[in-house]
Structure 1
Amino acid sequence: MHYLILALLFSSFSYLKTSGNCLSSLSLNPTSFYSPFFFSCHQNLKNSLTNFEISFDEFRDSLLVNHFPAPSFDQYTNFTSLVNTAISSKREAAMFLAQIIHESIGLRFKKEIACVETGCPGSYHITPGIGIPGRFYYGRGYIQLTWDFNYEAASFDLFNDNRLLVNPDLVAENEEISWSTAFWFWERHVATDPNVKLGKFGASTNHINGFLECRGENLDRARKRFEFYKKILKIFGLDETPDESGCYN
C-alpha cells in the first residue's frame, strides 16, 4: 500500500514538472512538496486538462479593446503558465483578466500609485504579530495585494516562508511573483464563491474591493470593471450574456 501511494505521488509530481501547468508555483518553492499551494495545484489538475486556451491575440486584444497598450509576450507567458491551475473556465479567465487589468491600470502599474512615495502607513496599519515594523503592505502586483495578513498568507502558501513579509516589494518587482500572488488571491478569496463560478461578475468585484465599490461611493469603478469584462468576453469568443450581478445589484 505504501509503495502504491509513493508511486502515485511520484507520478503526479512528475506530471507537474513536465506538463508546464503549475510549473511556476513549483519553481517558486521546489522543496515544499507539502505546501498548501502545491496541493491546490495538484487538486486542480482537472482544470489543466480542460480544453480552453487563450491565444496571445486574445490576451493582447483584451487590453487594446479597453484602450490600454499591448502587453508584452512575457506577461502573456506568465499568465498562461498559471491560468489553468487556478481558473476553471474561459469565462472565469475573462473575469480574472478584467479585474487585474483594472487593478493594474492595463498591466502597467504593480504598485499602488498613491502609496509609492509614502508607503501609506495610515491606510494599511501593521497587525500585531504579523507585519514587520518599517515595512509597508500597500497594494502590489497585478491584483494589488494589500494588508500584512495577505502578504503573510501568500508568502507561506507560495514559498513556505515569510519572504513577502520581509520584502513586500517582491510582489511588484518580480514578474513571476506578481502573477503568482494574483492567481493565489483569486483562488483563495474570489473563486471560492459559487456565484463567481456561475459567471456573476459582480461577485468577483465584491471579493476584491466590495467595501469601497459595491457598498460605498465608488460604484462607477465597479461598473468600469464590468465594462472591461464585457469586451473581453467578446474577444474570447464566448457567446453568452455577461452577468453584472453580485456587487451593486
Structure 2
Amino acid sequence: MAPHHSRPSARDLLRFVLAVAVFLTTCGRVAEARYGAGGQLSPVAAIVSEELYSSLFLHKDDAACPAKGFYTYASFIRATRKFPKFGGTGGDLATRKREIAAFLAQISHETTGGWATAPDGPYSWGLCFKEEITPQSNYCDATNKQWPCYPGKSYHGRGPIQISWNYNYGPAGQALGFDGLLNPELVANCSDTAFQTALWFWMTPRQPKPSCHQVMIGDYCPTTAAAAANRTAGFGLVTNIVNGGLECNVANDARVNNRIGFYRRYCQVLGVDVGPNLDCAHQMPYS
C-alpha cells in the first residue's frame, strides 16, 4: 500500500514562506554589503569573504559570548563602505591585507573571550563581548567642555574597539550622524554603528597621534618628538595609539602579546608577513 501523505496545513505553509523570506532577506543584506547598490565588490570584501570572516571568529556566536549574533559579516562590510580608504588604499595588496589584519587583531583583543587553553586556541575568540561588563567608572572627563557628559550616562567601552570616554563618543557620533554623548548605548545596540565607531577611531588622526590607518599603509612620518620617543611605524605603534598609556614602554606586557598573537594569526591566514616593530615595549606612550 502506498504511504499516505497528509497535506500541509496553512500554518505549515506560512512558516515555510516566512523562513524563505528571512533567508532571502539575509542573503540580500550580505550581497548588498559585499557589492553595494551599484554591484561593485567592496575592497575589504574582496579580501575577507564571509567564509573567511567566520573562520577568523570561530566562537563569536557561541552561547557563552555576550555578543552572540551581534557582529555580523554584513554589518562589518557595510561599515567599511563608509570608510572606503580602509583596506582600499596603501599601494600593494599585501599592505592592504596587513592593515585589515591589524584592525581585526586590535578589535579581537578588545573583545576577546579567549584564554590560554581555550578551544581552537586563544586567538579564535575575538568579538565575544560588545561592552565592558564591570566598568570601573562612567569614563566621564568633566574637564572636557567641548564634549560635555550627560548626567546618568556612562561612556565605558563599547563596540569592537571598545570606544571609551566622552571625548571619543562625542566626535565619533558627530562624524557618524548620531548623538554619541546623549545615546552612547547605541554603540552596543546597533552592530552597524558599533563597527563604524571602530573604523572611525582607526581612520581618524587625533593630534599628536596619527591614525592607525596612516601607520599601517606607510603614510606616517614621525615628528622629531615622535622619533625621540621611538614611535616607529608598525603594529606596535597601532597598539600605542589604541592603549599605549597602559601597555607601552613596558617589557613583555601580556596585553600587547595577546594583540600580537591575533595579528600573527590573521596575517598567516591572509598570506602576508607581519612587518616590523610588532610591540611597543620601548616606545613612549602618548600623553
Asked if 1:178 corresponds to 2:233, the answer is no
Asked if 1:107 corresponds to 2:124, the answer is no
Asked if 1:206 corresponds to 2:200, the answer is no
Question: Secondary structure of 1:113's partner?
Answer: coil
- After superposition, the Cα gap between the structure-2 partners of 1:74 and 1:114, relative to the gap in structure 1 and judged at 3 Å, is closer
Asked if 1:142 corresponds to 2:160, the answer is yes
In the aligned structure 2, how far is the partner of 1:152 from the partner of 1:20?
33
Partner of 2:261: 227
Per chain length, whose mean CA-contact separation is higher, i.e. which structure has more relative contact order (CA < 8 Å, sep 6+)?
1
Structure 1: runs of 5 or more not aligned: 1-15, 22-47
What letter is aligned with 2:171? A
Aligned residue-pair number: 200
Question: Secondary structure of 1:164's partner?
Answer: coil
Matches within 5 A, 1:17-96: 18=38, 52-64=46-58, 75-83=72-80, 85=84, 86-87=86-87, 88=89, 89-96=96-103
Structure 2: runs of 5 or more not aligned: 1-35, 63-67, 90-95, 113-125, 219-232, 283-287
Question: Secondary structure of 1:97's partner?
Answer: helix
Q: Deviations over 1:31-79 (max 9, x none)?
A: xxxxxxxxxxxxxxxxx66895211232122234xx7667859611222
Deviates more, 1:218-227 or 1:203-212: 218-227
What letter is aligned with 2:101? A
Q: Percent of aligned pairs with the same residue?
A: 32
Give the Å deviation of 1:215.
Answer: 3.0
* Larger Rg over CA atoms: 2
Partner of 1:4: none
TM-score (norm. length: structure 1): 0.68
Asked if 1:243 corresponds to 2:276, the answer is yes
Partner of 1:6: none
- Tell me if structure 1 keeps the 8 A contact 2:212–2:241: no
Question: Secondary structure of 2:159's partner?
Answer: coil
What letter is aligned with 1:101? S
Question: Secondary structure of 1:79's partner?
Answer: helix
- Tell me if structure 2 keeps the 8 A contact 1:152–1:165: yes
- Tell me if structure 2 keeps the 8 A contact 1:196–1:203: no
Give the Å deviation of 1:82.
Answer: 3.2
TM-score (norm. length: structure 2): 0.60
In the aligned structure 2, how far is the partner of 1:212 from the partner of 1:173?
28
Q: Deviations over 1:146-203 (max 9, x none)?
A: 11011110111111x5x22111110111111111111111001464564322471111
What letter is aligned with 1:120? S
What root-mean-square deviation, in Å, do the aligned CA atoms of Structure 1 and Structure 2 show? 3.1
In the aligned structure 2, how far is the partner of 1:63 from the partner of 1:50?
16
In the aligned structure 2, how far is the partner of 1:179 from the partner of 1:51?
15
Asked if 1:120 corresponds to 2:120, the answer is no
Question: Secondary structure of 1:150's partner?
Answer: helix
Give the Å deviation of 1:114.
Answer: 2.2
In the aligned structure 2, how far is the partner of 1:111 from the partner of 1:73?
11
The structure carrying a bigger helix percent of its residues is 1
- Tell me if structure 2 keeps the 8 A contact 1:78–1:176: yes
Question: Secondary structure of 1:18's partner?
Answer: coil
